[in-house]
Structure 1
Amino acid sequence: MASDVELAAMRQAITLSSLGLGTTSPNPPVGCVILDRHGVTIGEGYHRRKGEAHAEVNALSAAGPAVQGGTAVVTLEPCNHIGVTPACRQELIDAGIARVVISVLDPTSRGDGGAAVLTAHGIDVETNVLPDETLNVLGPWLAATRRRRPYLIWAYALDKQNSQLVNEQLAVDLRSRTDLVLNDKTLEEGVPGGHAPEHFTLPHDLSADLRSWLSACYATGSRTIVAVGADHSGALHENLDCVDEIVIAVKKAAPTGVIAAATADLTTAGFELADISPGRTCVRVRLRRPNASP
C-alpha cells in the first residue's frame, strides 16, 4: 500500500504531468517524482514532447546519485520499449531504484509491460495509486488511444449576442490543454509550435466528414481537439457520439431556466454535468460523457 509520502508525491507527479498538456502528443502527458530511501523528494520531471526525454529520465537526472535505493512515483507505467528515446523501465533499473509507485497501467505497453519487467528485476512495484486523480490529466489521452480518435471538446457561447468575443475567450482558455483548435473553418495548433514537427502535423482536409476527419487528426498525431463556436452545431449534433466534452458559456443575465433548457438534450444524449464555473459575465457549464475517460 502506498504511504502518505508516496500519495503526496503522486499528486505532485499528477500536477507535473499537466505541464505537458498540449505538447506531448502523440505521447501521453506523464509526471514523475523521485524519493530517496528516506522518503525525501530529490527529483521531479515531466514529459514535454515526443522525441525528448520522458518524465522518469528527467526526474532521475534531477535526483542524481542519491537515487540509489529510492522510489520512483510515476503517473503512467514506465514504457517497456525502445523508440525515439530509451525504455524508461530500463533507466529505472540501471539507476538502482528499489521501488516504483504507478498510478495507471499503459495500454500501449509492449511485451510483458514495464511493471512486470521491473518486478522481474527485484524492484517492488505498486500499481493503481490514485488513478481517478491521474485521469484528470491523462484521461483524454487514454480515451483517444483506446478509440483511435482524438478526445473532442465542443465549446460555445449560448447567447448569439457577443458570441464572437465569448468564443474567442473560450479558445484562449482551453487551447493550452489541447492539440488542435478548430475555429469556424480555420484549424491551428493549440500551443503554437509546441509539438515536435517530425511527429505531429495538421490534417489538411477540413471538408471530410467528421469521423474521417477525426481519424486523419489521430493519424497525424492529435489526441485532443477543441471545436469552438455554435457554427459547428450541425456536424457535431449529427455525430454527438464523437463529442466527449461540452463547455457552454451562458451570460449571467440569461433568463431563469436557460441552462436547464440548453443542457436537456445533451443529458438525454448521455452527457453528465461535470462542473459549473461562474465568471465575471458568464457561467461556464461543462458536461462530459461518463465513459469519456477510461
Structure 2
Amino acid sequence: MSPDALTPAEFAALHRAAELAEYGAATALPNPVVGCVLLAPGGWTVGEGYHRRPGGPHAEVAALTAAGPLARGGTAVVSLEPCNHTGRTGPCSQALIAAGVSRVIVAVRDPWPPAAGGVDHLRQAGVQVVDLPSLAGQDPAAAAAVEHAQDVNRVWLAAMRHGRPFVTWKVGMTIDGRVAAADATSRWITSPQSRADVHALRARVDTIMVGVGTVLDDDPALTVRDDQGEPVGRQPLRVVIDSSGRTPAQARVLDDAAPTWLATAESAGTGADGRVDLAAVLAELWRRGRRHVLLEGGPHLAASFLDAGLVDEVVAYVAPTLLGAGPSALSGGAVGTLSDAHAAELVDLTRFGPDVRLRYRIGARA
C-alpha cells in the first residue's frame, strides 16, 4: 500500500476537519478557518479542534490539547497546511512534531508566504506528510476532500490570492428577477426563514456594503439582528458607496449600532467614470484588515462590481413570487450581448421555507 494511500477513516476525517473549520466562520476573520482531526494508529478519533478567533489556539493545538498523550504516533488530518511561523501563537508544525504525531494529511496548502512551509518542516523532522492536492488529479475521493476544504475556506483563500476582500453579492428576488414592485415596495419579498439566514450570513462577514441609492430608498440599518430585531454579536463595518455625499445625517446607517465608512469620491478616489473607484475601496478595506464584503444593495452597484470583475460569489434568495414589473436584480451593466455574460457555477442549493437559496461561484476557484 502506498504511503500516500488514505484509509476510509482518513477520508471521513478530512470531511470532518472541513466541517469543524466552518464552526469558526463567524469569528475567525481576518484569519482562515481551519479544522483538525487527530486519529489514533487504529483509525479512531482521539481529538478535534478548530480555529475560533484571532490570537486563540489554532486548530491543531486545540486538537492536540483534546487528545493529550493519545496524539503520539497518530495522524493529524488538517483542512489547511499547518502554519510554520510565530505570530500571536507558535507554529503548528512544531507543535505536531513535539506531540509525536507520525503522519499528517493536508487538504489545502497555505498560500500566505509568512505561514507557509509547514509541510516541508514536518517532512524534515521525519513526519510522513500526505499532500492531498497532489493526489486530487488521480483520485476522485481526494479531489472531493480538497474541494470541500477549499470551499469552506474560500473567503480567506481568494482574499489571499487577490490581495483584496472576498466579495459576496447577496440579493433577494422574485422568480422573474425583480427586487421590488413597480411602485417601489420592496420589503419582505423573501420569507422570514430567508431573512434569518441573511442575518446568519451577515454574522460571517466583516463588512456590509450598499450604494447610496439603497440608503435613500430603504434607510437600512445594515446590522446583524436577532429574531426580535435587536442588534446582536459582532457587527460588521458598514460601507456606503456615495460619490457625492448624499447620505442623510439622520440615516440609520450612521447610528452607533456599528461603525460606518461613507466612501465618497473625496475619501476613496474616483475611476474613469468620475464615480467612486470600487477597486480602491476594496484596497482600503484590505489595508484595514477586512477580508469579506457582503454586497447587499443596489442593482447599479452590483452591476458595476460584476463588470469590474470584483464579485467572487452570488447568494440569491428566490421567492415563489412573480411581479412582471419593477426594478431587476441588475441594472445598467456593461454586458450588451449574450457572449459577454458573466458566467457562474452553481455550488449550493438550499431551501428556506418557501424560498430557495442559490450560491454561485463567479470566476476562478480559490
TM tier relative to shorter chain: 0.7 to 0.9
Q: Which residue of 2 aligns with 1:148?
A: 163
Q: Deviations over 1:63-97 (max 9, x none)?
A: 01111111111000000100110000010011111
Question: 2:82, 2:316 → 1: CA distance?
Answer: 37
Q: Which residue of 1 aligns with 2:240?
A: none
Structural mapping, 1:54-203, within 5 Å: 54-110=58-114, 113-128=117-132, 129=142, 130-158=145-173, 159-161=179-181, 163-165=186-188, 166=190, 168-169=195-196, 171-182=198-209, 184=214, 192-193=233-234
Q: Which runs of 5+ in 2 are unaligned?
A: 133-141, 174-178, 216-220, 226-231, 237-257, 269-275
Shift of 1:189: 7.3
Counting aligned pairs with the same residue, the percent is 36
Matched, 1:237 2:313: no
Counterpart of 1:235, as a letter, is L
The structure 2 residue matched to 1:274, chosen from 347, 351, 358, is 347
Contact 2:199 2:224 in 1 (8 A): no
Contact 1:179 1:189 in 2 (8 A): no
Q: For the structure 1 residues 253 and 149, does the alpha-carbon distance in structure 2 shift closer, same or farther, using more than 3 Å as the test?
A: same
RMSD of equivalent CA atoms: 3.2
Secondary structure of the equivalent of 1:163?
A: coil
Aligned length: 284
TM-score by length of 1: 0.85
Q: Deviations over 1:149-187 (max 9, x none)?
A: 111111122231463334854531422332223354566
Question: 1:145, 1:187 → 2: CA distance?
Answer: 26
Counterpart of 2:234, as a letter, is G
Name whichever structure is richer in helix by fraction. 1
Q: Which residue of 2 aligns with 1:248?
A: 316
Larger radius of gyration between Structure 1 and Structure 2: 2
Q: Which residue of 2 aligns with 1:6?
A: 10
Secondary structure of the equivalent of 1:28?
A: coil
Question: 2:149, 2:50 → 1: CA distance?
Answer: 14
Q: For the structure 1 residues 273 and 194, does the alpha-carbon distance in structure 2 shift closer, same or farther, using more than 3 Å as the test?
A: same
Question: 1:254, 1:86 → 2: CA distance?
Answer: 55
Q: Deviations over 1:13-67 (max 9, x none)?
A: 1100000102212210000011112222110000011111100000000001111
Q: For the structure 1 residues 149 and 42, does the alpha-carbon distance in structure 2 shift closer, same or farther, using more than 3 Å as the test?
A: same
Contact 2:203 2:234 in 1 (8 A): no
Matched, 1:288 2:288: no
TM-score by length of 2: 0.69
Which range moves more in the overlay, 151-160 or 173-182?
173-182
Contact 2:93 2:118 in 1 (8 A): yes
Question: 1:97, 1:112 → 2: CA distance?
Answer: 19
Secondary structure of the equivalent of 2:110?
A: coil
Which range moves more in the overlay, 170-179 or 160-169?
160-169
Structural mapping, 1:196-235, within 5 Å: 204-207=261-264, 208=268, 209=276, 210-229=278-297, 231=298, 233-235=299-301
Shift of 1:223: 1.6
Counterpart of 2:361, as a letter, is R
Q: Deviations over 1:254-274 (max 9, x none)?
A: 279xxxx979x6981222333
